[in-house]
Amino acid sequence: MGNIANSDCSFCLNSETLLHVVAGCHAYLPQFTWRHDAVLNFIAQTLQPVNNSNLFVDLPGYKSPSIVTGDTFRPDLLLSINLDCLYILELSVGYESNLQTNVDRKRRRYEDLITQQKKQF
């Protein structure tokens, strides 16, 4: 007799779907954080500041975005150019079926910050 495949997650016993493994299992949270931070670090290294720009990244080794936003909001990355243009990046490395939900959630979370920063930039 052969082994019968078990469709339960070996960590949390929920159904082991691709969505669960890639973005849902709490036991994988450290790996999700590592993946998020690796992508963020790649973007930050690509956007190294030049001339009259400043880069703020929510990772060790970079100036913290809270310098600009305060402690209420913690976007993943801010890029300020010539003190008159501010790009706010909030990264979500998740599963495709959750994309629009994540976009909507992040927009709601940062609406006040965007309104506040539009007055300054």
* Secondary structure (3-state) at 57: strand
pLDDT tens figures, 55-86: 999 999 999 999 988 888 889 999 999 878 89
Q: Tokens representing 97? A: 């079926």
pLDDT tens, 23-32?
A: 888 998 899 8
| Radius of gyration from C-alpha coordinates of the chain | 19
The pTM of the whole model exceeds 0.85:
no
Token pair belonging to 45: 């290294």
What is the 3-state secondary structure of 74-119? CCCEEEEECCCEEEEECCCCCCHHHHHHHHHHHHHHHHHHHHHHHH
